Chain A
Amino acid sequence: MPQAADVEIMVVDDQRAMRALVRDSLAQIGCACVSECGDGNEALQSLRARPVHLVVSDLNMPVMDGLALLRAVRSEPTLANTAFIMLSSRADVALVKEAIALGVNNYLVKPFTLGTLKRKIESVFGPLT
């Protein structure tokens, strides 16, 4: 049963507004240890240098999208056990199916509520205290 403040999270999205929304939402549920990256490639480089417990990543991004990032994370032994929640829109069902096949832990449909965000994280790690 992890403490929310102990969960280290990386938010990956090419939109600053969306990164800010996710970061501020995470802060509201007690997750204050949050880093940000603007695309999958940047995220992968950062994860190799400093792993986190959980990646919350958008699907549609330039350079390296969320699926490619998930595939890369799952294929690297030192990163393979990083929890991964995919951010998606309502129209992304087919892409979310691909993410499921690649081993995503859960997905989060935008726009989301704080309660949903917390439940998605708890579905992976158990109740946050």
Chain B
Amino acid sequence: MAGLSPETLAAIRVVFFQECEAHLAELGAGLTALQNGDSDPEILNGAYRAAHSIKGGAGIFELDALVRFAHQVETALGEVRDGRLAPEPDVLGVLARASSLLAELVEAGRKGRDPSPEPMATLGEELAALTPRATEPKAFDELNFEPRPMRFRPLSPAGRSGPGGA
């Protein structure tokens, strides 16, 4: 990310890859639970957040292949979570292989290696086939949002009863 020193980014990168281990474990545990018939929404949410978090962190370090693939995994998990994709054995099989590949991509990113494109392309097609209705992210420009200004007022040191009014 532009603007931060290489040393700062290197330190954040170490933390990111440490957290990836936990995210991959949560993703794997979630898929195992689904395979065992456990449809606890929080397990699915956890698996979804794991893929989402890997994608978000990878974006900081411009690990584009990891971002794209994690997004596909996240999308498929979102479809399962939202009830648009049934967690049938073939679906869970694809997700399990995708989870393994995601772990490989994380490892490649950690070591600074370029990942092999073929498995990503193959599994990417399988994931895309599971989520034909999923749409690509819309441009945020479409929101036509006007920021909401707020008056800045120093916090009261005594009561600290809250920041200034709008």
Contact = CB atoms under 8 A, between A and B. Distances in A.
A71 B49 CA distance: 21
Interface SS majority for chain A:
loop
B57 A18 contact: yes
B166 A81 contact: yes
B155 A8 contact: yes
A20 B160 contact: no
B11 A20 contact: yes
Contacts, number: 132
A79 B162 contact: yes
Contact of B152 (A7, A61, A80, A97): A7
A15 B53 CA distance: 8
B4 A24 contact: yes
Name, among A17, A109, A125, A126, the residue most crowded by chain B CB atoms within 10 Å (CB to CB). A17
Interface size range on A against B: 35 or more
Interface stretch (B97-105, B106-114, B117-125, B135-143): B135-143
B45 to A, nearest CB: 8
Interface of A: 2, 6-8, 14-18, 20-21, 24-25, 28, 50-53, 60-62, 77-83, 89-93, 96-97, 100, 103-107, 109-115, 120, 123-126
